[in-house]
Amino acid sequence: MNFSNKDRVAHLYHFDESGEFIHDGSMTIRAHMGLPAQSTEIALPKYNKTLERCYFVDGAWVVTSLFIGRFYWDEKAQIHCIHSYPQELPESYSLIEPPKANKGFVVQLVDGKWQQIEDHRGQLIFDCNDCTQYEEVEKVGEIKEGFTLSEPSTLFDEWIDNQWVTNQSNKYIDDFNQVDDTRRDLYNRVCDPFFAEARIKRMQGKEQEAMEVEAQALAARKRIQRENPWPSIPKT
């Protein structure tokens, strides 16, 4: 630095410890004296005082919109504050505050613009080709092709014209088989012991007692049938 051998008046631009411009003004520099710390005679460039700041870096002024204290939002609309200059920022960010997300959506930064993105995370989606197959949504965005958020009402629903339609024939067959299995199981556990006992009594010549036991078996059989009726045949 060259020092003057005479007093002189200089217009100085002052900056803080981070290098950010804080104020300017004229002052007398005494002979053989240098400039005060954190000041320069290099004039400020033009800048937008609302949206930009000037930093003195490596002997020159740098105009930036990424100044200390300014907020920015990452691609998932999370707010952050700039704490130093220069500060490394994520590859995708915006200085524009994101809009409020609509119901069932999240706001994300896409190609530099805020967009409403479908958010079905935590919901179940069902395979349109097999209503018994489903999975939970883990990522934002449209649901997988071939799946629907609409929940089937039975295990025999088929995806027809963008809605679940119950295949009544298949449902009837399954309902019938369930009733048949239940009846057979109860016959085996409840009725068969009575019939076996009746046969033994008949072999012992106790016909009257055998008939009474058979009557109990038949009564139990009717109760089982009454409590487990056949399903109604679907209308065609």
pLDDT of residue 1: 56
Question: Which tens digits make up the pLDDT trace of 138-166?
Answer: 999 999 999 999 999 999 999 999 999 99
Structure tokens at 229: 């009726």
pLDDT of residue 2: 65
Report the Cα–Cα distance between both ends of the chain, in Å, rounded.
102
Would you call 209 helix, strand, or coil by DSSP?
helix
Whether the bond into 86 is cis, omega within 30 of 0: yes
Give the Cβ contact number of residue 156 at 10 Å: 20
Instruction: Please compute the mean of the pLDDT values over residues 178-200 and round it to a whole number.
Output: 97
Confidence bin at 235 (pLDDT 50/70/90)? confident
Instruction: Please compute the mean of the pLDDT values over residues 16-29 and round it to a whole number.
Output: 95
Residue 191 has pLDDT above 60, yes or no: yes
Structure tokens at 104: 């069932």
Instruction: Compute the mean pLDDT over every residue in the chain, rounded to the nearest whole number.
Output: 95
Instruction: Please compute the mean of the pLDDT values over residues 197-209 and round it to a whole number.
Output: 95
**Rounded-to-integer distance, Cα 120 and Cα 128, Å:** 17
**Rounded-to-integer distance, Cα 68 and Cα 52, Å:** 10
Question: Which tens digits make up the pLDDT trace of 79-102?
Answer: 999 999 999 999 999 999 999 999
The set of residues, in sequence order, having a beta carbon less than 8 Å from that of 4 and lying 6+ positions away, is: 29, 31, 32
Give the start-to-end residue ranges of the domains of the chain. Answer: 8-64, 71-118, 124-166, 169-227
Confidence bin at 4 (pLDDT 50/70/90)? confident
Residue of higher predicted confidence among 6 and 222: 222
In the chain, which residue ranges form alpha helices assigned H by DSSP? Answer: 168-186, 192-203, 207-227
